[in-house]
Amino acid sequence: MTRISLEDLQKIRERKEQEDKSYKAVLLVCSGTSCSTSGSGNLLTVLRKEISHRKLSQDYRVEPSACIGYCSRGPVMIVQPEGILYEKVKSADIPEIIDCLIAGIPLERLCHKDTTTDNRVPLLKDISFFNRQQFIVMHNKGSAVPAGIEDAIAGGAYQGLAKALMMDKNAVITEIIKSGLRGRGGGGFPTGLKWQSAARSAEEKKEPPYVICNASIIEAEPHLVIEGMAIGAYALGASEGIIYLRREAPQVSARYNKAIQQARESGLLGSNILNTSFSFDIHIRSSAGAFVSGESSALIASLSGLAGEPTAKYIHNSEAGYKGKPTVINNLETWANIPAILERGADWYSSTGKSRKSSPGTKVLTMTGDIVNPGIIEVPLGTTLREIIYDIGEGLADQGQLKAVQTGGPSGGFLPVELLDLPLDYESLSEAGSMIGSGNISVISHKTCIVDTVRYSVSYLKDESCGKCTPCREGLIALSGILNRITSGQGKEGDIELMARIAESMQLASLCALGQTAANPVLSTIRYFRSEYEQHIRDGKCSAGVCKALLYYLINDNCTGCTACARNCPVQAIAGEVKKKHVIDQDKCIKCGVCYEVCKLNAVTVQ
């Protein structure tokens, strides 16, 4: 492959734009994980065959698209340049889609249905899930997955690098500082200051620095990450970079390996990048996906062939990190923000988002839980939780009532309905007892038991703790034991206060952020949902009907004596004559819920 120069970048973009204009439309099928699971791969094959069969290949190009985040509506198909979006497409729909394409009209039955008006909304830009978002990291959402390096360049890749290479190295760092970008890995440390510290250390020690991408958080367009790392390497004077991936995601590793090879062959990695004096290369390193390895010192240990355990940060990675050299570790989302800042300028970036005082820019989030539209979104920092849940997520599934929102993944805090207007930014969430963390927003309905959900979070963190420091290791074991007792109906007075003391000790004394933030689920729920703990302990009840040990199944006056419950009870705990009201023996009942499930007369009550 011919090496690409600075002058070639614009020529390639212009040529590819002309090629795209030669088609009447580009038909895109989402290749994201959720859509792929729903059958988008087969859909793409059927679409290509039908286009070929009708001899329309000169008019319509068919390609897989990058994940668009609309996970509950897959497989998803997009018609560009109009931006028509089709939901839950089946192979049988393809002929009709092409008929409508030729006729120049959308196939309305596959278009999004607005929940408030019941009207069909054909265009992606008019769907609330999309038009409330702002795309920087995911700016290629709704466009084709780059098949080669020229496709990536046509989509805007390497323009920021080209601009950076025309600047002084210190000026690049100044631009990142001026932009206000903060690390998207959860801690929120100013990215430019981290770079500046590493550059100074490298200069003082006369040692080559390293740049590392922790790619365990989200997935992004590989060339965007490669470009961001190359810009950082140029600014720092680094010649080697590492992308740290989880071994459990071989398909992601394959994508990045392919992109790195394409960049090398084109002169965008390796020696004399873009025919300049700058040389830099990237290697991929994989490791088991331990949660604690997301912590920077544990990641360094893993890369060095040691157990992924954190160390005390008396010396920062920017001074002595990988191989004892000055090292910058940013997560994948942080690196993916860099090209846009260089291409469009720090002033532009600092004016984006809604929380400019805290941090400009956007945050990629995964919406999960009891919500109509779970998926992957990118919103301006400062967007309120209410906007995310009700405007983008379209509210709770099954007309449920909101009880809580957990932000930041398993280490995040649980926030009540009263805090729905809280802006999504570092300071606001921290003050409320939560964090941005891994970027997960979990929507929790009234059908969910808060105590049981915290029990699950703590159990997960206990299993993921490296066990190196006593506060985290023993604290999580103790918290897990108490929560298991409470949800099993064996809670006792003083348990709440004991959990609070343990969690506060973990915050103060744990070696790394895993142990420090593992206290969030416990402390936030004691703060906002204390009554639910008290109900479990003092009243022996679980109002959500989740904790089986605290449930009682009773038969009410709706019972007609049909015997369905008695016939299906696995332990013969139900007695009664035919056509007469039955009774459950509470001493025999194992609380399996079979009687509740088989009764068609609402005669079984859960208390």
Cis status of the peptide bond prior to 81, with omega within 30 of 0: yes
17-131 has CATH 3.40.605.10 classification: no
- Separation CA 412–CA 408 (nearest Å): 4
Q: Which of 131-135, 495-499, 554-558 has the highest mean pLDDT?
A: 495-499
- DSSP-derived pairing of the beta strands 240-246 and 604-606: unpaired
Q: Which long-range contacts (CB under 8 A, 24 or more apart) does 41-48 make?
A: 42/91, 43/75, 43/77, 43/89, 43/90, 43/91, 43/94, 46/91, 46/94, 47/77, 47/94
Give me 169's structure tokens: 């190295």
* Pick from 269, 247, 273, 246: nearest CA to 258: 269
Which one-letter DSSP state was computed for residue 96? H
According to the model, what pLDDT value does residue 357 have? 63
Statement: residue 502 has pLDDT above 70 = yes
According to the model, what pLDDT value does residue 312 have? 77
* Pick from 440, 455, 365, 370: nearest CA to 404: 370
* Pick from 209, 211, 239, 208: nearest CA to 225: 211
Which one-letter DSSP state was computed for residue 123? B
What would be the CATH architecture of the domain defined by 362-445?
Answer: Roll (3.10)
Cis status of the peptide bond prior to 190, with omega within 30 of 0: no
pLDDT tens profile 109-160: 999 998 788 899 999 999 989 989 999 998 888 788 888 888 889 888 999 9
pLDDT tens profile 106-121: 999 999 998 788 899 9
Statement: residue 1 has pLDDT above 70 = no
Structure confidence at residue 315 as a pLDDT band (50, 70, 90) = confident
Q: CATH 1.20.1440.230 residue ranges in the chain? A: 450-539
According to the model, what pLDDT value does residue 115 have? 78
Higher pLDDT, 522 or 316: 522
Beta-strand ranges (E) seen in 370-445 are: 375-380, 402-407, 414-416, 440-445
Statement: residue 193 has pLDDT above 90 = yes
Q: Which residues pair with 589 in a beta bridge?
A: none
Higher pLDDT, 218 or 472: 472
pLDDT tens profile 369-415: 999 999 999 999 999 999 999 999 999 988 889 999 999 989 999 99
Cβ atoms of 122 and 6 within 8 Å: the answer is no
Statement: residue 463 has pLDDT above 70 = yes
Statement: residue 217 has pLDDT above 60 = no
Assigned CATH class of 552-606: alpha beta
Q: CATH 3.30.70.20 residue ranges in the chain? A: 552-606
According to the model, what pLDDT value does residue 218 have? 59
| CA distance between the termini of the chain | 70
- Average the pLDDT over 485-504 and give the result: 96
Rg over CA atoms, the chain: 27
- Average the pLDDT over 571-595 and give the result: 92
Angle between helix 332-344 and 222-236 (nearest 10) = 70
CATH number of 450-539: 1.20.1440.230
CATH of 157-350 given 3.40.640.10, 3.40.50.720, 3.40.50.11540, 1.25.40.10: 3.40.50.11540
Statement: residue 552 has pLDDT above 90 = no
Structure confidence at residue 308 as a pLDDT band (50, 70, 90) = confident
Statement: residue 289 has pLDDT above 70 = no
Whole-number percent of the chain with pLDDT over 70: 98
Mean pLDDT of the chain: 91
pTM for the model: 0.90
Statement: residue 288 has pLDDT above 80 = no
- Separation CA 242–CA 280 (nearest Å): 11
